[in-house]
Amino acid sequence: MSAAKKKSNATATKAPSAGDAIDDFQQTPINAGLSREDKCKLYRTILGIRRFEERSLQAYNQGKIGGFLHLYIGQEAVAAGVVSLMEENDHIITAYRDHGHALAVGMSMNECMAEMFGKHTGCSKGKGGSMHFFAPEKNYWGGHGIVAGQTPLGAGLAFALKYKGLKGCCICFLGDGAVNQGSFMETLNLVSLWGIPVVFVIENNGYSMGTSLARSSAEENLAHRADGFDIEWDVCEGHDVFEVREYANRAMSRAREEMKPFLLEIRTYRYRGHSVADANHEKYRTKEEIEEYKKNKDPINVLKEQLVADGSLTEESASKINLEVKTEADAAAKFAEQSPVAPRSEIQTDVYWEVDNDTNNSLKGTYFFND
């Protein structure tokens, strides 16, 4: 990686910077402290996301799920790793490729699957679908379909922490395509100016729909853009959950401790098309490119190998976890299938009807706020 003006040197420990060779991210302090149970939990989360999405794809192909379905398959270690570092006052927000983050924060497969089936038992009562998973009680603020639309919202969540005097950060995920949106530039300026504890995590999977990074971004080192806003940044790989945790921990700790934004670019890959409707995803990239990543950098295989090698997992315990999450995903599809749709009487609730009507709070412009 080329030298940078403002690359982060924010390390609570003496961990090396991006680009320096770290042989084994399992040995860095944030990871060395993980128990066997913690590591197996990470494995279960990553595998659970994969099996959940495979089951959703099946349901989509059976015509049970309508609308869009953006699969996260291949990127699982990013959400699992970052979310595993969240503390009480930390918040998270992302774009439409949101299933992995939702399951990682602890949303149930049932409420997520039912949401995609458009059922009333879904996390957004079946009115949002795949792109709009929400769990405010878990500090998970969605699920947004407007590219980069979540970035000013993420800044707002982090601003609220500062305003309330709480020590925490907001992790705001975005794609490599979203970095070119004007709203993101405006947000970078403001969070730097005001010292807002937001960590922007660019999940750079190399493509925005069918457009490769080289065709969409003049400067392919996306994190470098932070220099223009006097924001610290770093870059890491996203297939090794321990590497993700190491870099995300530095970024999140700094945001919490110093009340400053951070831009972390994580290089990852999606195996499937942009959405399930993108049947041509082997036209804008080669089959070999996909296979190569699967073979060498599949986050599940990489983690399994690491955990078997250090004695945290055996082939048997790995198979058991696999069976459990697969059964859970199947049960979620059954739950979704059997759940009712929203009653007609609720067709206009939860869709901002209230904002358009003369309630006292909307007249005062304080609808979403306490008096």
Give residues in contact with Mg ion (CB under 5 A): 175-176, 205
Distance CA 244, CA 250 (A): 10
Site for ligand TPP in 192-221 (CB under 6 A): 205, 207-209
Closer residue to ligand TPP in complex, CB, 99/304: 99
User: Least distance (Å) from ligand TPP to the CB of residue 205?
Assistant: 5
* Site for ligand TPP contains 274 (CB under 6 A): yes
Which residues, in sequence order, are CB contacts of 344 under 8 Å at separation 6+? none
**One-letter identity of residue 336:** A
User: Least distance (Å) from ligand TPP to the CB of residue 76?
Assistant: 13
Site for ligand TPP in 68-107 (CB under 6 A): 97
How many positions of this chain bind ligand TPP (CB under 6 A)? 13
**365: alpha, beta or left, given left = phi > 0 and alpha = psi -120 to 50?**
left
Contact 29, 13 (CB under 8 A): yes
Closer residue to ligand TPP in complex, CB, 204/253: 204
Closest CA to 273 of 263, 285, 257, 265: 285
Minimal CB distance residue for ligand TPP = 175
- Residue 154's binding partner among Mg ion, ligand TPP, none (Cβ under 5 to 8 angstroms by kind) is none
Q: Which stretch binds ligand TPP (CB under 6 A): 56-64, 136-144, 170-178, 360-368?
A: 170-178
Distance CA 110, CA 48 (A): 13
* Site for ligand TPP contains 290 (CB under 6 A): no
Retrieve residue 245's tokens: 């945790």
Closer residue to ligand TPP in complex, CB, 146/276: 146
* Site for ligand TPP contains 147 (CB under 6 A): yes
Alpha carbon distances (Å) from 308 to 23, 36, 43, 311, 357: 17, 11, 11, 5, 59
Inter-axis angle of helices 36-61 and 315-338, to 10 degrees? 40
Distance CA 317, CA 118 (A): 35
Closest CA to 200 of 213, 183, 188: 188
User: Least distance (Å) from ligand TPP to the CB of residue 79?
Assistant: 12
* Element at 183 (helix H, strand E): helix 182-194
* Site for ligand TPP contains 122 (CB under 6 A): no
Q: Which stretch binds ligand TPP (CB under 6 A): 108-116, 176-184, 255-263, 312-320?
A: 176-184
Distance CA 271, CA 357 (A): 45
The pairing of strands 207-208 and 262-267 is: unpaired
- Residue 260's binding partner among Mg ion, ligand TPP, none (Cβ under 5 to 8 angstroms by kind) is none
Q: Which stretch binds ligand TPP (CB under 6 A): 142-150, 240-248, 282-290, 341-349?
A: 142-150
User: Least distance (Å) from ligand TPP to the CB of residue 169?
Assistant: 21
Closer residue to ligand TPP in complex, CB, 64/272: 272
Closer residue to ligand TPP in complex, CB, 142/168: 142
- Residue 97's binding partner among ligand TPP, Mg ion, none (Cβ under 5 to 8 angstroms by kind) is ligand TPP
User: Least distance (Å) from Mg ion to the CB of residue 178?
Assistant: 8
* Site for ligand TPP contains 118 (CB under 6 A): no
Distance CA 149, CA 29 (A): 35
Inter-axis angle of helices 299-309 and 36-61, to 10 degrees? 150
Tokens 């055996």 sit on residue: 314
Residues engaged in binding ligand TPP (CB under 6 A): 97, 145-147, 175-178, 205, 207-209, 274
